[in-house]
């Protein structure tokens, strides 16, 4: 008895896809024998919105262009007025008498531009000359210490590998996030315990020891100096101190110029630290000297304005002459 042969056949594609699948038909040749391209997919909702937005911006550009340009210049003019109007007000008030200051408006010009009595009063009664001397001493010593400490710290962190290196960098970052005012009680006790209260060294030590930003500027610039210079110098027999003094430090001149300007202006304008740690009259700086003209029964604003002009002029001239060093120093270490 012969059995019927068993027919085996591969399942059709439709059966393999399942009942819910759709059948895709291949492209068929046209009359010329070429295979026709499949129709493009329908644009999605996002594409339609993007195209409509681009079309609207293209159609509205003749109107939005002049409007945007006008708003740009208006904002620049407004920013300039915000910066210049207070300076002009203080400058004109410094030439006014006490009665003229009370009776005229802030933007009214003085009667006499040759009235220098307020400047003489600021120098003689306010001790501005002694304030300039004390400020210069504190400024020079604090900047020198800041540059030496900052460059050495940046050199050690960037060139040496030691345990807790990341912890030290993180501690620097954490120190920048803590407001200095919150630690003034402990700082005052330490300064008093060291016998630095009512001396210039109180402000000098605080200015040198609380400048983490300068260390970060030096550290960022240090990363752009190749380590091959250190290795070549070590092959010639130079030690680490020689490499720092003769190779690294001279290459840090742009960063040093930036720190000198930024830190110098901050020390020059500082009021809180000298007022708290150096209350003696002979130790007054220019900021605390101006504060002497304000009392419980009023203030001599015309004399304060004259002293303010004397304080502003050096910083303004220094910034205008050295501003390119600030921008170059801040950006020169950003890229390698």
Q: What is the tens place of the pLDDT at every residue in 25-38?
A: 455 555 555 555 56
> Would you tell me how many other CB atoms lie within 10 Å of the CB of residue 260?
21
To 10 degrees, the CA torsion angle through 94, 98, 101, 103?
A: -160
Angle at 82 between CA 80 and CA 88, to 5 degrees: 90
For the domain that residue 182 is a member of, what is the CATH number?
1.10.3720.10
DSSP 179: -
Cα(318)–Cα(18) distance, rounded to whole angstroms?
82
Q: What is the pLDDT of residues 92-132, one digit of tens each?
A: 988 888 888 888 888 888 888 888 888 888 888 777 888 88
Band the pLDDT of 144: cuts 50, 70, 90. Answer: very high
Of residues 180 and 156, the one with the higher pLDDT is 156
Q: Is residue 142 part of a domain?
A: yes
Q: Per-residue pLDDT averaged across 51-78, rounded?
A: 76
pLDDT value at 156 more than 80: yes
Convert the pLDDT of each residue in 200-240 to its tens digit.
999 999 888 767 788 888 888 888 888 888 888 888 888 88
Helical ranges in 160-235 per DSSP H: 165-177, 184-193, 200-209, 212-222, 228-235
CA distance 120 to 81: 30
Take residue 122 and report the two structure tokens written for it: 């600021």
Distance CA 334, CA 324 (A): 16
Domain presence at residue 261: yes
Asked whether residue 108 is domain-assigned, the answer is no
Angle between helices 200-209 and 128-159 (to 10 degrees): 30
Orientation angle between helical segments 301-332 and 212-222, nearest 10 degrees: 30
The Cα-based distances of 188 to 7, 196, 285 in angstroms read 101, 10, 19
Tokens of 157: 């962190």
The pLDDT tens digits for 239-294 are 888 988 888 898 888 888 888 888 888 888 888 888 889 988 888 888 888 777 77
Domain of 169 in residue numbering reads as 126-292
- In the structure encoding, which two tokens stand for residue 62, read together? 């003749």
Total number of domains in the chain: 1
- Residue 180's pLDDT is 74
User: Are residues 207 and 146 in contact, defined by beta-carbon separation less than 8 angstroms?
Assistant: yes
C-beta neighbour count of 118 within 10 angstroms = 26
pLDDT for residue 141 is more than 90: yes
Asked if the structure places residue 329 within a domain, the reply is no
Q: Euclidean distance between the first and final Cα of the chain, in Å? A: 91
Mean pLDDT within 79-90 = 90
Q: In this structure, is residue 82 part of a structural domain?
A: no
Rounded to an integer, what distance in angstroms lies between the CA atom of residue 258 and that of residue 215?
12
- 3-state DSSP of 26-55: CCCECCCCCECCCCCCCCCHHHHHHHHHHH
Q: Within a domain: residue 109?
A: no
Higher pLDDT, 297 or 288: 288
């Amino acid at each position: 008895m012969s059995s019927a042969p068993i027919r085996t056949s591969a399942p059709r594609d439709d059966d393999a896809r399942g009942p819910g699948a759709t059948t895709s038909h291949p492209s068929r040749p046209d009359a010329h024998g070429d295979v026709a391209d499949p129709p493009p997919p329908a644009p999605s909702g996002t594409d339609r919105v993007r195209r409509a937005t681009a079309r609207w911006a293209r159609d509205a550009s003749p109107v939005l262009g002049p409007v945007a340009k006008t708003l740009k210049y208006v904002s620049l003019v407004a920013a300039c007025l915000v910066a210049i109007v207070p300076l002009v007000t203080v400058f004109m008030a410094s030439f006014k008498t006490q009665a003229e200051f009370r009776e005229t408006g802030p933007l009214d010009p003085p009667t006499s531009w040759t009235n220098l009595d307020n400047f003489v009063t600021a120098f003689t009664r306010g001790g501005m000359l002694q304030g300039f001397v004390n400020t210069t001493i504190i400024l020079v010593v604090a900047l020198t210490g800041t540059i030496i400490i900052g460059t050495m710290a940046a050199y050690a962190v960037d060139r040496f590998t030691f345990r807790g290196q990341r912890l030290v960098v993180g501690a620097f970052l954490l120190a920048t996030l803590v407001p200095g005012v919150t630690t003034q009680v402990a700082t005052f006790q330490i300064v008093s315990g060291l016998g630095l209260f009512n001396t210039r060294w109180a402000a000098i030590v605080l200015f040198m020891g609380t400048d983490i930003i300068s260390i970060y500027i030096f550290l960022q610039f240090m990363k752009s100096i190749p380590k091959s210079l250190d290795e070549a110098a070590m092959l010639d027999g130079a030690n680490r101190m020689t490499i720092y003094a003769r190779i690294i430090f001279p290459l840090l001149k742009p960063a040093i110029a930036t720190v000198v300007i930024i830190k110098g202006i901050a020390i020059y304008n500082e009021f809180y630290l000298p007022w708290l740690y150096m209350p003696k009259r002979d130790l007054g700086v220019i900021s605390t000297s101006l504060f002497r003209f304000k009392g419980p029964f009023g203030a001599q604003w015309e004399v304060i304005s004259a002293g303010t002009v004397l304080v502003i002029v050096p910083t303004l001239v220094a910034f205008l002459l050295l501003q390119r060093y600030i921008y170059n120093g801040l950006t020169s270490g950003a890229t390698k």
